[in-house]
Amino acid sequence: MRKPTAKRISGLVQSPIRAMTRACLRVNGINLGQGVCHMPAPDAVREGAIAAIREGKALYSKFEGIDELRTAIADRVRGYNRIPCDPDREVVVTVGSSGAFVSAVLALTDPGDEAVLFEPYYGYHYNTLLVAGVTPRFVTMTPPDWKLDARALAAAVNDKTRLLVVNTPANPSGKVFSRADLDAIAKLCRDRDLVAVTDEIYEYILFDGREHVSLATLPGMRERTVTISGLSKTFAITGWRIGYAIAAEEMARGIGLVSDLLNVCPPTPLQHGVAHAMRTLPDDYFTGLRHKYQAKRDRLCAALQDGGLSPFEPEGAYYVLADSSSLDAHDDQAAADKLLERTGVASVPGRAFYREAEGKRLVRFCFALEDPLLDEACVRLRALRR
Ligand code: GLN
């Protein structure tokens, strides 16, 4: 029999993020690997969905999402992100931000096109490009400051480049792109006629007073930016899969058409739950996330430092990359395995976020856990030194 699977998935393997969750479950460990977000979801989001189920809101929605949710998203995007936004033409509710990303890539590129990706990257961005037949070109940023090299960025662009993929605050590095970084990206997009796809799912999780700047607010960028986000992290509902894309009308229409084809619509009662929470939660719910997560970051970074796993302190998002050299393992996977075996704490090997060698001494930890469990993980990590 000839090979039954398509070339487009040859080489595609289960993400190490997911593989480590399975390994963690086997040993009943503490999962600081996958960014599951083990935090309580606000009552408003749960009550809103329960009410919608009780009221029988069980049918397909418009493929771009229910009106109430698109309106709530547009209000937030105008207020927090400062992006002008028409809920009827420029918002597409999707099955998670990953659903928005896949839809955007399929709607905006052809096989053979190229895209610029910052490394370390989020593996789902990378693999989505590959499956779509889009060749990624990498701009590598190095710790501890993950500085963006504007010259390397310009050198990654050629006549085939269509997209530039930005993720701020970034998974896994925690880099928050500065206004200067975004200016360089915007200039390149304008000069070379590129579209930027920016994944801003961690937009409310910012540390040390940093501000979140949406690329679409820079001069000339609104019409050439797809802004992706979602409520997975903000409301701790990663399994609900409610995300969205904001884009100018023509791109939004294309993204909506693809999202319809892939998913028909995101789960309707869950859209109602999210709409209810977005309409009713006070602003300080959103701003409060900064302090909540900063305290967790500080706790975990201190424990990693004490345990001999030097952390690269993140500026935002809820992950930290750490140097695993002290574990004396031959590579990142062996380091993550050894760590799980010795401490029962799961992490993600650096290879999930790098093409090859660079990731080999790094492991990623997630700190989106409630304090008692995070504290237990910290005790175990500290004990590594002894
Ligand atoms: N975004 C999360 C992470 O980076 C979850 C990804 C996933 O489970 N596919 O861990």
For residue 234, the enclosing domain spans 43-280
SS3 label, residue 268: helix
Distance, in Å, from the CA atom of 312 to the CA atom of 332, rounded to the nearest integer, reads: 16
Which strand ranges, in their side-by-side order, compose the sheet holding 362-366?
A: 311-312, 319-323, 362-366, 348-349
Domain membership flag for residue 196: yes
Residue 357 has pLDDT above 90, yes or no: no
Contacts of 43 (CB under 8 A, 6+ apart): none
Q: For ligand 1, say whether the CB of 343 is within 6 Å of any of its atoms.
A: no
Distance, in Å, from the CA atom of 122 to the CA atom of 113, rounded to the nearest integer, reads: 20
Q: Select from 317, 291, 9, 2 the least CA-distant residue to 146.
A: 317
Report the domain count for the chain: 2
Where residue 331 sits, what CATH number does that domain have?
3.90.1150.10
| pLDDT tens readout for residues 228-277 | 999 999 999 999 999 999 999 999 999 999 999 999 999 999 999 999 99
Identify whether residues 170 and 71 lie together within a single domain. yes
Q: How confident is the model at residue 358 (pLDDT cuts 50, 70, 90)?
A: confident
Residue 99 Cα to ligand 1 middle (Å): 13
Query: How many residues are recorded in the chain?
Result: 386
Distance, in Å, from the CA atom of 269 to the CA atom of 241, rounded to the nearest integer, reads: 12
Domain membership flag for residue 350: yes
Q: Which of 237, 263, 280 is the last residue of a domain?
A: 280
Q: Which amino acid is at 147?
A: K
Give the DSSP H/E element, type plus range, for residue 305: helix 283-306
Q: For ligand 1, say whether the CB of 201 is within 6 Å of any of its atoms.
A: no
Say if CB 137 and CB 160 are below 8 A apart: no
Identify whether residues 68 and 216 lie together within a single domain. yes
Where residue 175 sits, what CATH number does that domain have?
3.40.640.10
pLDDT given at position 359:
84
Question: Residue 165 forms beta bridges with which residues?
Answer: 117, 197
pLDDT given at position 132:
97
Q: Which of 233, 262, 280 is the last residue of a domain?
A: 280
Identify whether residues 203 and 135 lie together within a single domain. yes
Residue 333 has pLDDT above 80, yes or no: yes
Q: Where are the beta strands (DSSP E) in 172-302?
A: 195-199, 225-230, 242-246
Identify whether residues 108 and 149 lie together within a single domain. yes
Residue 105 has pLDDT above 90, yes or no: yes
Q: Which of 280, 300, 317 is the last residue of a domain?
A: 280
Give the DSSP H/E element, type plus range, for residue 374: helix 371-382
Residue 233 Cα to ligand 1 middle (Å): 11
Say if CB 204 and CB 236 are below 8 A apart: no
Identify whether residues 33 and 151 lie together within a single domain. no
Residue 126 Cα to ligand 1 middle (Å): 13
Q: For ligand 1, say whether the CB of 165 is within 6 Å of any of its atoms.
A: no
Domain membership flag for residue 314: yes
Q: For ligand 1, say whether the CB of 34 is within 6 Å of any of its atoms.
A: yes
pLDDT given at position 14:
86
Say if CB 228 and CB 197 are below 8 A apart: yes
pLDDT given at position 342:
96
Identify whether residues 273 and 320 lie together within a single domain. no
| Structural tokens at position 364 | 């990623």
